[in-house]
C-alpha cells in the first residue's frame, strides 16, 4: 500500500479522534482560569491556530525554496496548498483573538505589536494567494510567488519574540516576560498540547487533499490545452 493510500485511509480517522480528544481536554480536563473565567478556553483554539499558521507558512517557504532549486511542480503545488491552509488558520487567529480580547481588554482590537505583525503576516500570504489566483499559470508567476512565500516567513520569528521584547498588551503564552510558565496547571498544558497536535494533523490532511485537487486540476487543464492545440 502506497503512502498516499495510507494517508487517504487513516489520516481522516486520526484527525477525527484527535478532535474528540482535544475537545475533551479543553472542556473537561483543563480547569477554568481563575481571573479570566470560561472565556479563557478559547485560548487553546487561538494559540493552536497560530502555531498551525506558522507551520503552514514555514511549509510554504520550504516548498518554495525547493521549487526554485529543483523546478519541480510538485513543490509549487505543496507551497500553494500550504499557503491556502495557513491563511485559513491565520484567519482563525485574527477572529478568535478579538473574541478573547473583548471581555479581557474591554476592546475588540489593539494595535499591539504582536497583533499588528500577525495581521501583516496574514496580508503577505493573502497577497501570495492573490498573485497565484490572478497572475496566470506562467512559470515566472510561480517563481515570483515562491520568492514572496520565502520572504513572508521572516515575520514568524519577529512575532514570536515581539511579545517579550516589545511593550504591548498581548500576554506571553508559554513563558512570561518574567521567565515563569504561563500555564501553571498540568491540565492546561495537556489541553494545549493535544489541541496543537490536532490542528497540525488537520493541517496535514487539508494540505494533502488540496494538493491532490491541484494535481488533478492542472492535469485537466493540460489535457484541455492539448485538445485546443490539436
Position 169 confidence tier, pLDDT thresholds 50, 70, 90: low
d(CA 88, CA 86): 5
Q: What percent of the chain has pLDDT over 70?
A: 81
What's the pLDDT at 11?
A: 85
Average pLDDT over residues 6-29: 89
d(CA 52, CA 57): 9
What are the tens digits of pLDDT across the range 124-136? Answer: 999 999 999 888 7
Average pLDDT over residues 177-190: 69
What are the tens digits of pLDDT across the range 187-216? Answer: 888 999 999 999 999 999 999 999 988 888
Tell me the residue range of the domain where 169 lies. Answer: 3-30+39-229
d(CA 207, CA 188): 28
What are the tens digits of pLDDT across the range 96-145? Answer: 988 887 887 777 777 777 788 899 999 999 999 999 988 876 788 899 99
Q: What percent of the chain has pLDDT over 90?
A: 49
Closest by CA to 125, choosing from 75, 157, 80, is 80
What's the pLDDT at 191?
A: 93
Number of structural domains (the chain) is 1
Query: Distances in Å between the alpha carbon of 91 and those of 61, 67, 95, 162, 227?
Result: 19, 26, 6, 20, 40
Residue 181 scores a pLDDT above 60: no
Amino acid at each position: 500500500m502506497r503512502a498516499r493510500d495510507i494517508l487517504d485511509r487513516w489520516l481522516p480517522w486520526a484527525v477525527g479522534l484527535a478532535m474528540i480528544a482535544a475537545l475533551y481536554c479543553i472542556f473537561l480536563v483543563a480547569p477554568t482560569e481563575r481571573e479570566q473565567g470560561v472565556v479563557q478556553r478559547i485560548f487553546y483554539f487561538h494559540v493552536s491556530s497560530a502555531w498551525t499558521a506558522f507551520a503552514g507558512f514555514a511549509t510554504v517557504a520550504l516548498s518554495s525554496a525547493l521549487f526554485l532549486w529543483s523546478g519541480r511542480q510538485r513543490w509549487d503545488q505543496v507551497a500553494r496548498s500550504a499557503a491556502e491552509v495557513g491563511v485559513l488558520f491565520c484567519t482563525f487567529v485574527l477572529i478568535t483573538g478579538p473574541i478573547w480580547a473583548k471581555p479581557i481588554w474591554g476592546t475588540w482590537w489593539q494595535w499591539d505589536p504582536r497583533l499588528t505583525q500577525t495581521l501583516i503576516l496574514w496580508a503577505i500570504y493573502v497577497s501570495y494567494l492573490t498573485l497565484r489566483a490572478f497572475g496566470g499559470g506562467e512559470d515566472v508567476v510561480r517563481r515570483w510567488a515562491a520568492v514572496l512565500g520565502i520572504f513572508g516567513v521572516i515575520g514568524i520569528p519577529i512575532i514570536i519574540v515581539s511579545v517579550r521584547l516589545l511593550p504591548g498588551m498581548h500576554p506571553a503564552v508559554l513563558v512570561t516576560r518574567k521567565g515563569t510558565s504561563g500555564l501553571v496547571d498540568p491540565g492546561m498544558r495537556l489541553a494545549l498540547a493535544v489541541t496543537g497536535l490536532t490542528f497540525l494533523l488537520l493541517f496535514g490532511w487539508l494540505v494533502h487533499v488540496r494538493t491532490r485537487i491541484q494535481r488533478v486540476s492542472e492535469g485537466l487543464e493540460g489535457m484541455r490545452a492539448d485538445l485546443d492545440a490539436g
